[in-house]
Amino acid sequence: MLPIFLKTLPFFALIGLGYWAGRSRFFSAEATAYLTKFVFYFALSAMLFRFSANLSLAEVWDTRLVVAYLWGTAFVYGIATLVGFLRGLDVQTTAVEAQCAVIGNAGFLGVPMLTLLLGPEAIGPIILALSTDLIVFSSLIVILITVARDGQPSLRIFLSIALGLLKNPMIVAITLGFLWSSLAIPIPAPMNEFLAILGGAATPGALFAIGASLALTQPDRLPIAGWLTFCKLVLHPLFVGFAALFLFVVDPFKAGVVIAAAALPVAGNVYMLAQHYGVAPARVSTAILMSTAISIVSVSLVVGWVSAF
C-alpha cells in the first residue's frame, strides 16, 4: 500500500501547491478561472482526443461494465436522494446533494492519475465511466432542477441538455477521437506531437487548478459535507464494486478501474452547476474540499486494493 500512496502523493502535492497559491492570493480567482478554462477546453481535450483516436470503440465498449457502473451509481444516487427527502429538502437541493454523492473528478484527476497508476489499458474504462457521468447524470440534474422550477418537462429542457453536451469539450474530444479511430487514419507525426505537448499540460494544470479552486471555498454545513463525502468515497466505490464483481461479473481489471474511478472525490463541475442554478453552492464546495482532502488516503487504499485484481 505504501508504494501506491507514494505514487499518488505527487498528484495531491500538486493540488496542495495550487491550494497554497490560491490561499496566499498568489493566484487570484480570475487567474484560477482562466487556468481552468485552458485545461478544460485545450489541454484535457487534447489528451482525451489523443487517447480516443488511438483506441477502437469496439474494443473499449463493454456493456456489462457500463451497466454495472450505472447500477452502482444509481443505487448511491437513490440513497442520497432518499436521505435528502427524509431531511425535508426540496427537489433541487436533493438533486445537487445526490450529484455530489456520485460524480467524481474523473476528468481532471482520474484520467491522468489512474492511467499512470493502473497503466494505459485503464483509459478505456475511465472514458466509459466519464462519459456515463457526463451524459446520464449531468443531464439528470438539469432535468430535475428545471422541472422542479417550471412544474413540467418541456422540449426546451432536452434541447438545452443536447446543446450542453455538444458544447462540452470532453464529450466532443472523445467523440471526435473515436470517429478518427473508426476511419483508421494514422495521426500525422506533427499533429501527434502537438497533441502530446498540449495534452501533457493537462495533468499539472488540472491538479493545480483543483487546488486553487478549493482555496476559494468557505466551509459550510460540515456534517452534511461529511455525509456526502462518505457517499462519494465509501458508498460509491462499494456499490460499483458489488455490481461489477458480483452482479454483472465484469472483467476484473476493468472492474478495478471503475471502482477506482468511483472512489475519486467530488468533481468541480458539480459546484459549477450548483452555482449556475443558485442551489447550495457553499455546501457543494465544502463537500469537494473535504472529499479531496480525505481522498489523499482513501484513493491510495482503493487503488492498492484493485491493483491486486
Q: What share of the chain is helix, strand, coil (3-state, %, to 5)?
A: 85, 0, 15
State which residues of the chain have pLDDT below 50. none
Q: Residue 216: what pLDDT?
A: 83
Task: Tell me the pLDDT tens digit for each residue of 249-258.
Answer: 999 999 999 9
DSSP 121: G
* Chain segment 243-278, per-residue pLDDT in tens: 999 999 999 999 999 999 999 999 988 988 888 788
**What local confidence, expressed as pLDDT, does residue 101 receive?**
97
Q: What is the pLDDT of residue 132?
A: 92
Residue 153: its pLDDT value, please? Answer: 66
What confidence score (pLDDT) does residue 103 get? 95
The answer to whether 73 touches 138, Cβ cutoff 8 Å, is: no
pLDDT for residue 155: 73
Q: Given this model, what pLDDT does residue 238 score?
A: 97
CB 208 within 8 A of CB 18: yes
What does pTM read for this prediction? 0.88
Phi and psi of 24, rounded to 5°?
-85, 0
pLDDT for residue 49: 93
The alpha carbons of the chain give a radius of gyration, in whole angstroms, of: 19
Q: How far apart are CA 203 and CA 113, in angstroms?
A: 8
Contacts of 192 (CB under 8 A, 6+ apart): 50
Query: Are 112 and 203 a contacting pair, CB within 8 Å?
Result: yes
